[in-house]
């Protein structure tokens, strides 16, 4: 049987970096093959070369035993290659079905496609509404669109980049069953994930990359998470040590918050109440699209429609206060979307400081103090080990993980009294994720109150003091982390906490 995909000597150079340096990679039919590496190791560039969206400077690509030149994504799809990107390639003003139709033949009937999308989404446990416009979707829901689009093509090679970050633990298991079934039918899968336990449970082979080169190939089933981490980074991620302490004063309080939909596809919020204290991390778990976006917009001030006393910041009613007013009162905010909301791609890292540091220290009489923002940016880069050429580097030039470290660092450097964080380590490698989590825990230990929304249950269990779950615009009672289990939280993510209490 011919090898499904073989790369030989693939090299891609950019002005400031060699993204891929003589990469060799072999994928067999029916093999689930992991590609593991830190952010900036060259994984995404290599996948884009396979998919035809980036042209290599040197090297050969063999497909089913024959050398091929994959000049664009269309030619890749014709060969039978499908890819789910970490950064999505969707048009905001089109519907889910219209976006998927763009990659199909021109005679595709939209009504029939909508049925296929709904059937495929249901089959794989990926809740999706084909008629929704993409601009109304959360990041997690956009990822579902990409996964369903790839599965519709019935590919011979499926490239998946962080595919499980939008799923409950139960749905992850269901997806794994599906991927194993695809593999048993001969479909090859290239699987990029920073979840080492997933790679060990699912994949047959693992290629490890560091600095644009292959540093090892192994059977991940024979490795531990620690040994894979050492292969990837040269060391194990540091353990997180928080200080055991009683929570302090109440810093953020939400009282009977109900809010109608802001658009037809939004999630209405229903009777949400919880408190957040100084010196604690409250984690919010939930499947993407269950009201996380709407709750964060209400808490951050982006959506000031709530009753004034529905949101209290240090005891003061702020439900009608805008985002700038809440920042002035000590609130910090890290949105889930890195590019476009968390950072302006074309602006320098220094100028991106101004998105949250608009104080007398950075602006005087309407004029930006360039030396001040350069100094703050340099401090963030150094403290958070951001791989960037300096404060003048464009935000869009950073890898996803490095940009996330920068955005989190920018907020941490403000020393907020309350910090809201959405998806703190989305698509971030093991080392960077550990660093971000350690900084958040250190901020908590310094007395900050943190509200963290994440679809990474392992992350929430690692750093949270208490947990609540959001499902269909409602929140569960809070539970101490020490009393929570993955199974219980996974069940609650389906909205079943009331039923569980009734059966107790």
Q: What is the pLDDT of residues 356-386, one digit of tens each?
A: 998 889 999 899 999 999 999 999 999 998 9
Average pLDDT over the chain, rounded to whole?
A: 90
State the DSSP code for 446.
T
Q: What is the pLDDT of residues 180-211, one digit of tens each?
A: 988 998 999 999 987 888 899 999 999 999 88
Q: What is the pTM for the complete model shown?
A: 0.72
CB proximity list for 389: less than 8 A, separation 6 or greater? 16, 397
Please give the share of the chain, as a percent, with pLDDT higher than 70: 94
Confidence of residue 502 (pLDDT cuts 50, 70, 90): very low
State the DSSP code for 386.
-
CA distance 1 to 17: 37
Domains of the chain: 5-233 (3.40.50.300), 250-340+414-503 (3.40.50.300)
**What pLDDT score does 21 carry?**
96
Residue 347 has which token pair? Answer: 């602006």
Can you spell out the DSSP letters for 368-384? Answer: E-HHHHHHHHHHHHHHT
């Amino acid at each position: 049987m011919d090898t499904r995909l073989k790369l030989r000597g693939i090299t891609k150079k950019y002005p400031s970096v060699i993204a891929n340096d003589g990469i060799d990679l072999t994928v067999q039919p029916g093999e689930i093959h992991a590609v593991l590496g830190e952010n900036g190791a060259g994984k995404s560039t290599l996948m884009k070369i396979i998919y035809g969206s980036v042209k290599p400077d040197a090297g050969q690509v063999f497909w089913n035993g024959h050398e091929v030149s994959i000049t664009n994504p269309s030619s890749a799809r014709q060969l039978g290659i499908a890819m789910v990107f970490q950064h999505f390639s969707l048009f905001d003003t089109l519907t889910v079905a219209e976006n998927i139709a763009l990659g199909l033949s021109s005679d595709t009937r939209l009504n029939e496609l909508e049925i296929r999308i709904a059937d495929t989404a249901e089959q794989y446990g990926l809740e999706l509404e084909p008629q929704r416009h993409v601009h109304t979707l959360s990041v997690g829901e956009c990822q579902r669109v990409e996964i369903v689009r790839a599965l519709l093509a019935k590919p011979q090679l499926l490239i998946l980049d962080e595919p499980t970050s939008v799923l409950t633990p139960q749905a992850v298991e269901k997806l794994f069953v599906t991927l194993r079934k695809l593999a048993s039918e001969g479909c090859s899968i290239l699987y990029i994930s920073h979840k080492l336990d997933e790679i060990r449970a699912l994949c047959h082979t693992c290629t490890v990359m560091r600095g644009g080169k292959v540093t090892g190939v192994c059977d991940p089933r024979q490795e531990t998470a620690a040994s894979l981490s050492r292969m990837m980074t040269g060391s194990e991620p540091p353990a997180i040590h928080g200080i055991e302490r009683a929570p302090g004063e109440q810093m953020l309080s939400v009282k009977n918050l109900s809010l109608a939909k802001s658009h037809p596809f939004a999630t209405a919020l229903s009777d949400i109440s919880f408190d957040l204290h100084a010196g604690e991390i409250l984690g919010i778990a939930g499947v993407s699209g269950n009201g996380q976006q709407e709750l964060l917009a209400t808490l951050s001030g982006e959506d000031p429609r709530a009753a004034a006393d529905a949101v209290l910041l240090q005891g003061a009613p702020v439900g009608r206060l805008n985002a700038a007013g809440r920042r002035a009162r000590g609130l910090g905010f890290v949105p889930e979307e890195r590019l476009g909301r968390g950072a302006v791609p074309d602006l320098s890292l220094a100028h991106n400081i101004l998105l949250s540091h608009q104080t007398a220290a950075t602006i005087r009489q309407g004029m930006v103090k360039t030396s001040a923002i350069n100094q703050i940016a340099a401090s963030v880069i150094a403290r958070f080990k951001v791989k960037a050429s300096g404060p003048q580097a464009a935000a869009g030039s950073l890898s996803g993980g490095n940009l996330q470290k920068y955005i989190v660092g920018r907020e941490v450097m403000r020393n907020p009294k309350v910090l809201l964080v959405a998806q703190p380590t989305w698509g971030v490698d093991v080392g960077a994720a550990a660093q971000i989590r350690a900084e958040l825990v250190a901020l908590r230990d310094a007395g900050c109150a943190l509200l963290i929304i994440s679809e990474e249950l392992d992350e929430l269990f690692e750093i949270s003091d208490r947990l609540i779950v959001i499902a269909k615009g409602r929140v569960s009672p809070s539970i101490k982390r020490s009393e929570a289990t993955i199974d219980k939280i996974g069940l609650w993510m389906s909205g079943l906490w009331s039923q569980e209490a009734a059966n107790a």
